[in-house]
Structure 1
Amino acid sequence: MPVVQLQKLIRRYPNGVRALDEVSIDFAAGSFTAIMGPSGSGKSTLLQCAAGLDRPTSGRVVLDGHDLTALNERRLTRLRRDRIGFVFQGFNLLPALTAKQNVGLPLRLAGRRADAATVQRGLAAVGLAERGGHRPHELSGGQQQRVAIARALVTAPAVLFADEPTGALDSASGQDVLRLLRDLVDTHGQTIIMVTHDPTAAAHADRVLHMVDGRLA
């Protein structure tokens, strides 16, 4: 079964613009998909609807066996917290917290114990086992994004959504992050859906989807 299924997804804004125009696509478990397209093509809207951050006007989003379009806000928030990971262009780390504390934060917010061994394994998985005590300003941009990835993975999500994850990084740091994402798929079977404008980033994916005017081209 696909981890994510989008069925005839339409997202229409109050001004009449159709950001998504009957998009249907499946995302297999353990796959790495890149979504590309010009500005305004609907790629970010597609990711937001697939991740439950935005509600479509019509159509269905089924993620990990759950119909997101049928969930109320409380249940949708719980599902996002427990089964979905997010990585954005901005690292969104809390500056007052160490890398370890940032990684463990989703567990604490879910009312679960941020087990030190679990957090340490997460940091080790992204190559930062020795940097857990450092705060964001003591880390490079690439290292901060790695902490953000470890934080996104600490709840063992069914799917990781990445929105321009290398957009704020220099080319070398960006390549390091992309290699990490590729390894998460190849070694750990993680499902990743990534929006990017960069063909070099998209080349790390198994499949590239191109969007134009709210449709898959």
Structure 2
Amino acid sequence: MDDAVRLESLTKTYGSGDSAVSALRETSLSFPRGSFTAIMGPSGSGKSTLLQCAAGLDRPTSGRVFIDGQDTSGLNETRLTELRRASTGFIFQSFNLLPSLTAEQNVALPMRLAGRRPPRGAVRQALAQVGLEKKAGSRPSQLSGGQQQRVAIARALVARPAVLFADEPTGALDLSTGRELLVTLRALAGPDGGTPSGPGTDGRVTTTIVMVTHDPNVAAYADRVLFLADGGLVGELLQPTAEAVAARMTHLAVTS
């Protein structure tokens, strides 16, 4: 199967000797192109560490990570940074927008900082994808929390990444606004919702979404939910409902 991200026997250990703590233990996972996966687990289960390693933001102690078909284990920091910029996007719980810049300028900023000019029309296309084409000239203070988070999504999409990582993307939003954001993410996943490959073309880059959340209602928007406990994969739920996810999490809380 064609995977956007693949993890092979991933282990991440912090510290050494008697004080060593294993955040991940021999974990193997794959995220097919166009899929929308939610990752859940009790506090300390390793989900944030998994996300950081899968996105190339942290290196595992052992095992291999493949991003968009590229084995990251042999890459130096420069090449790994280039791969992240070319193939991944990241959405954080905090919006991380610069208040003095417009939405359009915030979206373009990471590419400009990397010394790259956004493709013609790409910034407006990214804003249009999240329904904010009419807010391109607005500053963060003129936008609602949900709109600011959608600007952050557009910023992650402008380089047309193969995979979009999201760490508790609805955590700072109210229920209604969070739901709007999840509908946006749901629409992006898969071949029909991929990011445009260029202005005036029909080609699209299939967008894969990997999201960490603690909320069963949020996880229910995904195609599948992966459950972690004690640094390892302990379950999977396809076509999840909020009730089924909550039941599985309650079981984990009792047994862990």
State TM-score, norm by structure 2. 0.83
Provide the residue aligned with 1:39 in structure 2. Answer: 43
How much has 1:109 moved relative to structure 2? 2.1
Partners of 2:139 and 2:29 lie apart in 1 by 40
Provide the residue aligned with 1:215 in structure 2. Answer: 232
Contact 2:7 2:64 in 1 (8 A): yes
- Seen in structure 2, the aligned counterparts of structure 1 residues 115 and 4 have a Cα distance that, compared at 3 Å, is closer
2:66 to 40, 62, 69: 62
The answer to whether residue 129 in structure 2 is matched with residue 89 in structure 1 is no
Contact 1:2 1:28 in 2 (8 A): yes
The answer to whether residue 117 in structure 2 is matched with residue 113 in structure 1 is yes
The answer to whether residue 146 in structure 2 is matched with residue 142 in structure 1 is yes
Partners of 1:149 and 1:139 lie apart in 2 by 14
The answer to whether residue 134 in structure 2 is matched with residue 130 in structure 1 is yes
The answer to whether residue 104 in structure 2 is matched with residue 100 in structure 1 is yes
Count of residues paired in the alignment: 217
Contact 1:23 1:215 in 2 (8 A): yes
How much has 1:116 moved relative to structure 2? 5.6
How much has 1:196 moved relative to structure 2? 0.3
Provide the residue aligned with 2:223 in structure 1. Answer: 206
Provide the residue aligned with 1:172 in structure 2. Answer: 176
Contact 1:89 1:163 in 2 (8 A): yes
Provide the residue aligned with 1:196 in structure 2. Answer: 213
| Partner SS state of residue 39, structure 2 | strand
Amino acid at match of 1:29: R
State TM-score, norm by structure 1. 0.97
How much has 1:106 moved relative to structure 2? 2.2
Provide the residue aligned with 2:245 in structure 1. Answer: none
Amino acid at match of 2:45: S
- In the TM superposition, 1:148-187 aligns within 5 A as 148-186=152-190, 187=193
Partners of 2:180 and 2:231 lie apart in 1 by 31
The answer to whether residue 5 in structure 2 is matched with residue 4 in structure 1 is yes
How much has 1:115 moved relative to structure 2? 4.5
Provide the residue aligned with 2:250 in structure 1. Answer: none
Partners of 1:205 and 1:118 lie apart in 2 by 26
Contact 2:118 2:159 in 1 (8 A): no
How much has 1:107 moved relative to structure 2? 2.1
How much has 1:117 moved relative to structure 2? 1.8
Partners of 2:41 and 2:213 lie apart in 1 by 8
Higher relative contact order (CA 8 A, sep 6+): 1
Where structure 1 has 5 or more consecutive residues not aligned to the other structure, the ranges are none
Amino acid at match of 1:12: T
Root-mean-square deviation (Å): 1.0
Provide the residue aligned with 2:240 in structure 1. Answer: none
> Identity of paired residues, percent?
64
1:132-180 CA deviation, whole Å, 9 max, x = no partner? 1111111111000000000000000010000000000000010000000
Amino acid at match of 2:146: G
Contact 2:118 2:158 in 1 (8 A): no
